[in-house]
Amino acid sequence: MMSHANAHDLQLDPAGHLKHLLTVEGLSRELLTEVLDQAEGFLGVAQQAVKKVPLCRGKVVANLFFETSTRTRTTFELAAKRLSADVLNLNIAASATTKGETLLDTLRNLEAMQVDMFVVRHAASGAAHFIASQAAPHVSVINAGDGRHAHPTQGMLDMFTIRRHKGAFENLRIAIVGDILHSRVARSQIAALNTLGTGEIRVIGPRTLMPAQVESLGVRVFDDLREGVRDADVVIMLRLQRERMSVALLPSEHEYFQLYGLTEERLSTARPDAIVMHPGPINRGVEMDTQVADGPRSVILEQVSNGIAVRMAVIAMCIGTQNLRGQSAVGGLDD
């Protein structure tokens, strides 16, 4: 797979508009804020009797999932449908040996069907970037999770949820707990939190589940949960990604819970108005206690609803206005 060092160069068109969303790294604070502001507008569509707006009528969005997903795929599908786009869902089993060839073949076939956007999930880091670099000029690509690399829409929906509850990021203390090593979600969250100027970002977990030089990401590292969540405004729990662990990094899930599982008691050092987040799916009794997951500080289900609005914003920003991209916008509203 290709290097993704230059992913952000691909992401914007010459006019600076979002063309692909592959990673939040390299995107400006203004652009991330625009995504959040647009999502705020799209949240209102869910209140309509007809939960649909005609922004992407006639566009075709293909969900290209080489890895299984329920929440991400369905919320992307709903987001596209609420924008009146047509949606193709393709669940393609990844082939380890012919990945590049399979990807390109799939891509060319879908382009021949006049698809306007690919939403890509893949087990290999850089897969979405590879597709974006190979896609026809009119096609946009959104990364819906690639290996351990990035999951930008999840990162942005978490930013959206935090902003709705806590406002500006400058004075916030945000703790991310768990398997940082395998988490593309954590990587996207940390990049977005840094760009948005978050006061303090903490990562908490066993050393075996921390990437090398994790401090260089601009975070404070804790190995004690109680200390790590002390005075936190937001506590983000990550899923233990056993499927990505090739060697024994953990003694047992039971022991993990003993040390890093979030309980109401351990949460008591956080700020009284702290919110608890989780990207799902939750391993109840492993990352967190059921009481916390279903408790008053949990915003986990709100994250799911917010995910639709944020994905609508990203889809609309990429393909909603592309018909006459490059032509200058005409001033004056036509009333």
Partner 1 sequence: MDHAAVETAIAAMGIGLQALLERRHITAPLMVGIHTGGVWVAERLHAELALADPLGHLDISYYRDDFSRIGMHPQVRPSHLPVTVENRHIILVDDVLQTGRTIRAALNTLFDYGRPKSVILAVLAELDGRHLPIEPNVVGLHARLAAGERIKLTGPAPLVLVRGRAPAKPAPKTHQVEAAP
In this structure, what token pair is assigned to residue 5? Answer: 């060092």
Q: Is 52 in the site for partner 1 (CB under 8 A)?
A: yes
Q: What's the closest the beta carbon of residue 318 comes to partner 1, in angstroms?
A: 11
CB of 42 to partner 1, least distance (A): 8
Shorter beta-carbon distance to partner 1: residue 46 or 259: 46
Q: Nearest Cα to 219, choosing from 190, 197, 181, 180? A: 190
Shortest distance (Å) from residue 303 CB to partner 1: 19
Q: Is 50 in the site for partner 1 (CB under 8 A)?
A: yes
Contact in structure between 313 and 42 (CB atoms under 8 Å): yes
Sketch the per residue contact string, 110 through 149, with partner 1: x for CB under 8 A, - otherwise: ----------------------------------------
Residues in 19-38 that interact with partner 1 by CB under 8 A: 34, 37-38
**Which among 184-192, 253-261, 279-287, 323-331 is the span making contact with partner 1, rule CB under 8 A?**
323-331
Please state, as a whole number, how many other Cβ atoms lie within 10 Å of the Cβ of residue 81: 17
The HSE-up count of residue 330 (CA atoms within 13 Å, CB side) is: 4
Q: Closest by alpha carbon to 312, among 131, 198, 94, 142?
A: 142
What angle, rounded to 10 degrees, do the helices at 152-166 and 300-315 form? 120
Among positions 32, 45, 157, 204, the unique one binding partner 1 when judged by CB under 8 A: 45
Structural element, H or E, at residue 158: helix 152-166
87 binds partner 1 (CB under 8 A): no
* Count of residues that interact with partner 1, criterion CB under 8 A: 30
Q: Which of 55, 79, 282, 308 binds partner 1 (CB under 8 A)?
A: 55
CA torsion angle 3 5 74 84 (round to 10) = -110
Shortest distance (Å) from residue 188 CB to partner 1: 23
Q: Amino acid identity of 188? A: S
Cis status, amide bond into 281, omega within 30 of 0: yes
Residues in the site for partner 1, rule: CB under 8 A? 34, 37-38, 40-41, 43-45, 47-50, 52-55, 316-317, 320-324, 329-335
